């Protein structure tokens, strides 16, 4: 695994949540999605140029991409709504970060990925950390 790319991804998602909070404090989460869709659309030529080869479409792959996009937009809108009413952006981001546990479960069930004890321990530690992070006296 490319650790530099992993670190850059984590940083990008962290900054993304921070700037999303700033945005939804100024505009409605639905408007945020309109802006996001406009930016995504304007980047099509960039993505196309980066492919370096003709675009090959597979019906199943396109279906999964559409489902992914719809779910991502739904999650982004809900996250925006939560951020808008939240006074604790960091806590909310940590709570939402448990979503990889769902991805892991689905991958084990449907993609036959191996789930080892270290994965179980990491998931448990994440849940414990989440509970401790959000514990209020």
DSSP string, 64-115: HHHHHHHHHHHHHHHHHHHHHH-S-HHHHHHHHTTHHHHHHHHHHHHS----
Q: Do 10 and 36 share a domain, yes or no?
A: yes
Q: Do 65 and 131 share a domain, yes or no?
A: no
Q: Do 77 and 117 share a domain, yes or no?
A: no
Question: Shortest CA distance to 77 belongs to which of 44, 38, 37, 40?
Answer: 37
Angstrom distance (rounded) from CA 61 to CA 83:
32
Task: Give the pTM.
Answer: 0.72
pLDDT of the residue at 14: 85
Residues 84 and 23: beta-carbon distance below 8 Å? no
Q: Do 84 and 62 share a domain, yes or no?
A: yes
Q: Is the pLDDT of residue 127 over 70?
A: yes
pLDDT tens column, 60-118: 999 999 999 999 999 989 988 988 888 877 778 777 877 877 888 888 899 988 888 88
Range of the domain at 52: 3-89
Q: Is the pLDDT of residue 134 over 70?
A: no
Cα distance from N-terminal residue to C-terminal residue, the chain: 40
Residues 84 and 25: beta-carbon distance below 8 Å? yes
Q: Do 84 and 103 share a domain, yes or no?
A: no
Q: Do 79 and 116 share a domain, yes or no?
A: no
Q: Do 11 and 68 share a domain, yes or no?
A: yes
pLDDT tens column, 36-68: 999 999 999 998 888 887 878 899 999 999 999
Span 114-134, average pLDDT: 81
Q: Do 35 and 81 share a domain, yes or no?
A: yes
Q: Quote the number of domains for the chain.
A: 2
Q: Do 83 and 137 share a domain, yes or no?
A: no
């Amino acid at each position: 695994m490319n650790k530099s790319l992993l670190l850059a991804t984590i940083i990008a998602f962290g900054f993304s949540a921070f700037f999303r909070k700033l945005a939804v404090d100024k505009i409605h989460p639905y408007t945020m999605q309109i802006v996001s869709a406009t930016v995504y659309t304007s980047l099509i030529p960039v993505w196309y140029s980066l492919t370096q080869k003709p675009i090959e479409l597979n019906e199943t792959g396109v279906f999964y991409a559409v489902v992914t996009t719809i779910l991502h937009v739904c999650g982004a809108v809900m996250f925006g709504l939560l951020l808008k009413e939240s006074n604790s952006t960091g806590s909310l981001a940590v709570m939402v970060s448990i979503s990889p546990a769902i991805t892991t479960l689905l991958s084990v069930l449907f993609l036959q990925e191996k789930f080892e004890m270290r994965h179980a321990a990491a998931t448990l530690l994440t849940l414990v950390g989440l509970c401790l992070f959000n514990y209020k006296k």
